[in-house]
Amino acid sequence: MSLTDIKNSIRNVPDYPKPGIQFKDITTAMKNPAVFKEIIDEMAAHFAEREIDYVVGIDARGFIFGAALAYKLGCGFVPVRKPGKLPADTIAEEYALEYGTDKLEIHRDALQKGDRVIIVDDLIAVGGTARAAANLVQRLGAEIAAFAFAVELTDLHGREKLQDIAEVYSLVQF
């Protein structure tokens, strides 16, 4: 299977959730077992030689790819969640959206100093979400080995918010 096959399996939904946005719908890719397997196998192959303790997945689509990647790499999975979802003691990071702000949380005891992690989401757009997740990970003293995304929207230059921290890997680009 080629990267073009993977790209073609991702549905573009124009004007969702609002006019002007081209929404990359990954549900059509995940539904296809060969495509879903190829995405995870490719990502895992890229990181196979690295020493990684945890995959940190971002709520909610980052859980789908992140959990599968963690399983494949044989490491643990740590969720970064929207406010109020994690039951134990958390730390939070606010970040800017186009209109207003949003917040992400992680359990205070989820990571320890020196842990090496990959931060995973389905897609990077302007990069604010992944940057906020990175701030949480760093505040807990863990080390970011890389950021990994199934899809990168290159025109939005999100990687520029992350590449001073660690490698930014994406499988397909639009």
Q: How far apart are CA 137 and CA 100, in angstroms?
A: 23
Q: Is the dihedral of CA 11, 17, 22, 23 positive or negative?
A: negative
61 is catalytic: yes
Q: How far apart are CA 173 and CA 151, in angstroms?
A: 6
Q: Residue 112 or 154: which CB sits closer to ligand AMP? A: 154
The contact pattern for ligand AMP, residues 15-54, with x = CB under 6 A and - = no contact, is ------xxxx------------------------------
CA 24: distance to chain centroid? 14
42 is catalytic: no
Residues 92-131 that bind ligand AMP (CB under 6 A): 121-129
Question: Shortest approach of ligand AMP to residue 122 CB, angstroms?
Answer: 5
Binding-residue total with ligand AMP (CB under 6 A):
17
Q: How far apart are CA 16 and CA 33, in angstroms?
A: 26
158 lies in the binding site for ligand AMP (CB under 6 A): yes
